Amino acid sequence: MGDGMKSFLKKVLLSIGILIVLVLITHYMDRDKETKPVPIENSSSDLLEIYYFDVGQADSTLISYQNYHVLIDAGNTVDGVKLVPYFKELGIDHFDYVIATHAHEDHIGGMSRVVYNFPIDHFYMPNHSSEWKSYSNLMKALEKENVPLETPSVDSTFDLGDLHFTILWIGEDKEDYNENSIVLRLDFFNTSYLFMGDATGDSERNIDSNQLPCDVLKVGHHGSKYSSVAPFLETVKPKYAVISVGKENEYHYPHQVVLDKLEYLGVTVYRTDLNHTIHLQSNGRSIQFDFLETDLDG
């Protein structure tokens, strides 16, 4: 090969290299754009909206449709301080249902503040007491605000307009509070959603398998390997999985084995530590996600 040819080839290779770098840069810039904040809508539309809040190593999910509002868990105590104004900003003036999946700080910590700030039609919680300070604070708040604590039974249902909810699981005074976690299913026209709380593999095995297949799974116990057992995930077979988890948390959630199982099943995974607050919208046929930087973490 002559020198002229060599330098020509070098130039071609260099150009290809630059092109690849440019394509990669544009790709990552686009990805960055997706996580930029989207204006909050006080929606009076017919869309179901679900917010899986980025509350660090904790859990809080809001389900809103027309003027119906359901809150599942309220993060740690510090999260309540930020969640309450955020709910008000969204135009929420009451909750039809507030569900405390179980009495751990990372689920009920912020809840007494919610009880003091909004009228609540129904308050659901497993029937177990707890030593946590946040538990006694919550009991005090419910008493002061005259909100009765209700413990639903397995297979009980409630409807809010077109939203159909089923209690799939609730434990009875198990020593491990996670096993008491309320597991909730939501059906909205042709779409369906599971909210697992911190339910363990034992609870997953006890749920009626006919009730499991769904589109969006809120993964149990922040992606712990003691939840999301293989037969359960294979039956649920969600299109999307959402994991509420803190950045670099001490428990190393989500566990790799859970992520591997979800990947094997071809599930698209969103995580609050990577995607921030995960905002879902559905018209009952299709489901869309976007990501909000809500500054709720911590």
73 interacts with Zn ion by CB under 5 A: no
Q: Measure the CA–CA gap between 194 and 215, rounded to whole angstroms.
A: 8
Asked if 245 and 254 touch (Cβ cutoff 8 Å), the reply is yes
Asked if 97 and 130 touch (Cβ cutoff 8 Å), the reply is no
Per CB under 5 A, the list member of 73, 79, 96, 106 interacting with Zn ion is 106
Residue 62 or 92 with smaller CB distance to Zn ion: 62
State the number of binding residues for Zn ion (CB under 5 A): 2
Q: Measure the CA–CA gap between 211 and 164, rounded to whole angstroms.
A: 13
Whole-number minimum distance, CB 67 to Zn ion, in Å? 29
Cα dihedral angle (149, 155, 158, 159), rounded to 10 degrees? 160
Whole-number minimum distance, CB 198 to Zn ion, in Å? 4
Per CB under 5 A, the list member of 54, 79, 96, 198 interacting with Zn ion is 198
Single out the segment in contact with Zn ion by CB under 5 A; choices: 7-15, 65-73, 196-204, 269-277: 196-204
Single out the segment in contact with Zn ion by CB under 5 A; choices: 73-81, 98-106, 223-231, 290-298: 98-106
Q: Measure the CA–CA gap between 187 and 218, rounded to whole angstroms.
A: 14
Cross-strand partners of 239: none
Whole-number minimum distance, CB 287 to Zn ion, in Å? 25
Residue 34 or 176 with smaller CB distance to Zn ion: 176
Give me the residue label for tokens 């969204």.
90
Q: Measure the CA–CA gap between 283 and 166, rounded to whole angstroms.
A: 20
Whole-number minimum distance, CB 59 to Zn ion, in Å? 5
Interface residue list for Zn ion (CB under 5 A): 106, 198
